[in-house]
Amino acid sequence: MKLNKLVKSAKVELNNVRLKMLNNSTFISSHKEQEIVENIRSKGFYILENHFDKNWCEQAITEIDNLIEKFPDQIWKDAADSDFRLFGANRVSSFINEYYTHPLLISLLQTYEGTKMKDGFTLGAKLIAAENNKGSGGGWHRDHANVKQSKSIVYLTDVIDDNGPFQYISKSHKSYNIYKDSYNYNFDQFQNRFTEQEVNRLIEKEPERLKTITGAAGTVILTDTRGIHRGKPIQKGTRYALTNYLWAHSNVPKHIEKSLIKGK
């Protein structure tokens, strides 16, 4: 079993090295933009504060609420009736599609990936405080243990510690740390889902790696969700957000494609 995992790990990393050598295109022009990309590479995320104004955020919230009302049978929600998700909201809202195609955000993440994006969509999300909710995303997880997964998240409401901020384990997106953390904290290197107890083992030893990202409405988080992350369980109020899911080397996976809003 261990030999099989070693062989699989070697294949994964050889493929990542190949992709890195093939994909080194740049889509940005300023020193500041390069600094943003380097922060994503080193930490796994970067925060653009107040990137959108309040009026824009309020219109985006209205769009999400209208889509929830219009497509009630095409909404994903969790068991606690806390996390309401509109996969592919950009495909039925021209306003939300402007976020999906935002030139700067696309250019920054394409530079991080080193190539043009091939496919993706925008998730419109409404998160409501409810008993026993696990937070956005259903707890600690990686989107993919083997390759990068680029996202941009915009808070549409002010987000403080008790209303569902994005949390990230810094540097957990890097191959070296995936293997090191697996050894130090008894994770499987291909593990996608983590219990709170498992992540707490890491946080207790390295508390500085836990990043809880609060921010005003309009704050954008650019991140590689190969790293361990979650939306902290929401204790108060309502949080709205838009998230661009972007794939550089494949189309939207089929198991996700079937969840996208089809419209009427």
pTM of the model: 0.92
| Cβ contacts of 262 within 8 Å, gap of 6 or more | 74
Q: Distance between CA 1 and CA 13 in Å, rounded?
A: 18
Query: Tell me, what's the pLDDT at 121?
Result: 98
Closest by CA position to 153, among listed 251, 67, 88, 245? 245
| Cβ contacts of 18 within 8 Å, gap of 6 or more | none
CA 104 to chain centre: 17
Closest by CA position to 42, among listed 149, 170, 220, 153? 170
Query: Tell me, what's the pLDDT at 18?
Result: 55
Query: Tell me, what's the pLDDT at 24?
Result: 76
- What is the amino acid identity at position 130? A
- SS3 state of residue 107: helix
Q: Which residues pair with 48 in a beta bridge?
A: 220
Query: Tell me, what's the pLDDT at 29?
Result: 86
Domain extents in the chain:
26-257
Query: Tell me, what's the pLDDT at 19?
Result: 54
| pLDDT (tens place) for every residue of the chain, 264 residues total | 454 655 555 556 565 555 555 567 889 989 999 999 999 999 999 999 999 999 999 999 999 999 999 999 999 999 999 999 999 999 999 999 999 999 999 999 999 999 999 999 999 999 999 999 999 999 999 998 888 999 999 999 999 999 999 999 999 999 999 999 999 999 998 899 999 999 999 999 999 999 999 999 999 999 999 999 999 999 999 999 999 999 998 999 999 999 999 876
| Cβ contacts of 211 within 8 Å, gap of 6 or more | 43, 45, 167, 168, 169, 170
Given the candidates 1.10.10.10, 3.40.50.11740, 2.60.120.620, 2.60.40.10, the CATH classification of the domain at 26-257 is: 2.60.120.620
CA 165 to chain centre: 12
